[in-house]
Amino acid sequence: MSWFKRVKEGISTSTKDKKATPDGLWYKCPRCKKTTIKEDHVANNYVCPHCEYHHKIGSEEYFHILFDEAQYKELYDNIISGDPLEFVDSKPYTKRIEESINKTGLRDAVRVGVGKVDNQHLVVACMDFNFIGGSMGSVVGEKIGRAIDYAREHKYPVMVISKSGGARMMEAAFSLMQMAKTSAKLALLGQEGIPYISLMTDPTTGGVTASFAMLGDFNIAEPEALIGFAGPRVIKETIGKDLPKGFQSSEFLLEHGFLDFIVPRTQLKDQISTLLYMLSEKKTRQRKEKIEAAKSEA
């Protein structure tokens, strides 16, 4: 049985001395399977340079992409969920919340940041899909409501980045009423002539679509995002047929007249900045330089 015995010494390397490639040096696109150096992928706003697949990102990444020098002030991060119905499914809701907080380092499915985009003020409420599927419970409704109030108080434009599976079932009717709450707050914002931009990302469904996501003065979306009211599975079960290709995609919504435009994430900041500038007509330094550069190039 000698062939089972290690004859030569020193072939095995102890684990601590193993020289493996460090984790996260490469990003492998789940769609085209091609690899990109992680740094380049981040620099490209988490969009695959080969196939333009938009990797799902969270609020932190969006804030970094949008705000000048990644500088922003986070607002209302002290709000955490209650358990109004003492809901228990496979585990108690309070435990689910606690575990999600520990797992994600987030306090709920939305964060609010205020900062500058090309030197123009903007309030951004951005949803996090990692936190219970980006579902809308009382905290999401309250924070979006307060973000709108903050925008009204300071006369800053406001943007909501949606990424949500819809309602948070463990808050049942409380969750439902967040649709009413956020829409009512937007009614107030609209009366004051403050711009509201809604950016829909993959996925935006259910009660989020049927409230603040669709109520933007500007409804925009990332490419190829799933956007709809009823989930594809529910519709498929209802009609008993397969859904047409591209159904409920950003491109489908644009075609049917529900989006102003689709914006690739690589151009997100630029487009938002342009929009804000067109509304305020304030020439910021960056804006001036950009226009001059474009002119001299021409």
Partner 1 sequence: MTTFDFEKPIAELEEQLEKATSIAEKGKVDMSDSITKLEAEIEKTKKEVYSNLTGWQKVQISRHPERPYTLDYIQGICDEFLELHGDRNVKDDKAMIGGFGTIEGKTYMIIGHQKGRNTKQRQMRNFGMANPEGYRKALRLMKLAEKFNKPVITFIDTPGASPGLEAEERGQGEAIARNLLEMAKLKVPVLCFIIGEGASGGALGIGIGDRVMMLEYTWYSVISPESCSSILWRSWDFKEKAADALKLTSDDMLKNGLIDGVVKEPIGGAHNNPAEIFATVKKEIKRLTKDLRALEVDDLVMQRIEKFSHMGSYHEI
Amino acid at 291: I
List 70, 184, 291, 293, residue binding partner 1 (CB under 8 A): 184
* Residue 170 beta carbon to partner 1: minimum distance, rounded to whole angstroms: 8
Number of Cβ within 10 Å of residue 115's Cβ equals 20
* Residue 181 beta carbon to partner 1: minimum distance, rounded to whole angstroms: 5
Over the Cα atoms of the chain, what is R_g?
23
Nearer residue to partner 1 within complex by CB, 173 or 294: 173
Asked if 201 touches partner 1 (CB under 8 A), the answer is no
From residue 237, alpha-carbon distances to 240, 242, 273 in Å are 5, 9, 42
Nearer residue to partner 1 within complex by CB, 152 or 290: 152
Asked if 102 touches partner 1 (CB under 8 A), the answer is no
Which of left, alpha, beta for 48 (phi over 0: left; psi -120 to 50: alpha)?
beta
List 138, 164, 201, 250, residue binding partner 1 (CB under 8 A): 138
List 35, 56, 92, 172, residue binding partner 1 (CB under 8 A): 172
* Residue 159 beta carbon to partner 1: minimum distance, rounded to whole angstroms: 17
List 36, 62, 131, 142, residue binding partner 1 (CB under 8 A): 142
Q: Answer for the pair 84, 290: CB distance below 8 angstroms, yes or no.
A: no
Nearest to 224 by CA among 58, 59, 61, 51: 51
Number of Cβ within 10 Å of residue 75's Cβ equals 18
Asked if 246 touches partner 1 (CB under 8 A), the answer is no
Binders of partner 1 in range 203-222 (CB under 8 A): 206-207, 209-215
Helices 268-280, 285-297: inter-axial angle, 10-degree rounding: 110
List 42, 177, 262, 279, residue binding partner 1 (CB under 8 A): 177
Asked if 145 touches partner 1 (CB under 8 A), the answer is yes
Binders of partner 1 in range 62-91 (CB under 8 A): 78-85, 87-90
Asked if 238 touches partner 1 (CB under 8 A), the answer is yes
Cα dihedral: 7, 8, 11, 12 (round 10) = 40
| Spatial CB neighbours of 17, under 8 Å, sequence gap ≥ 6 | none
Nearer residue to partner 1 within complex by CB, 45 or 248: 248
Asked if 16 touches partner 1 (CB under 8 A), the answer is no
Number of Cβ within 10 Å of residue 124's Cβ equals 27
List 127, 167, 268, 272, residue binding partner 1 (CB under 8 A): 167
Cα dihedral: 90, 209, 191, 77 (round 10) = 40
Nearer residue to partner 1 within complex by CB, 161 or 186: 186
Nearer residue to partner 1 within complex by CB, 16 or 241: 241
Nearer residue to partner 1 within complex by CB, 183 or 266: 183
Q: Answer for the pair 161, 202: CB distance below 8 angstroms, yes or no.
A: no
Asked if 113 touches partner 1 (CB under 8 A), the answer is no
Q: What is the DSSP string of 152-196?
A: HHHT--EEEEEEE-SB-GGGHHHHHHHHHHHHHHHHHHHHTT--E
Residues at the contact surface with partner 1, assessed by CB under 8 A = 78-85, 87-90, 138-139, 141-142, 145, 167, 169, 171-181, 183-188, 190-191, 206-207, 209-215, 227-230, 234-235, 238-239, 243-244, 247-248, 256-258
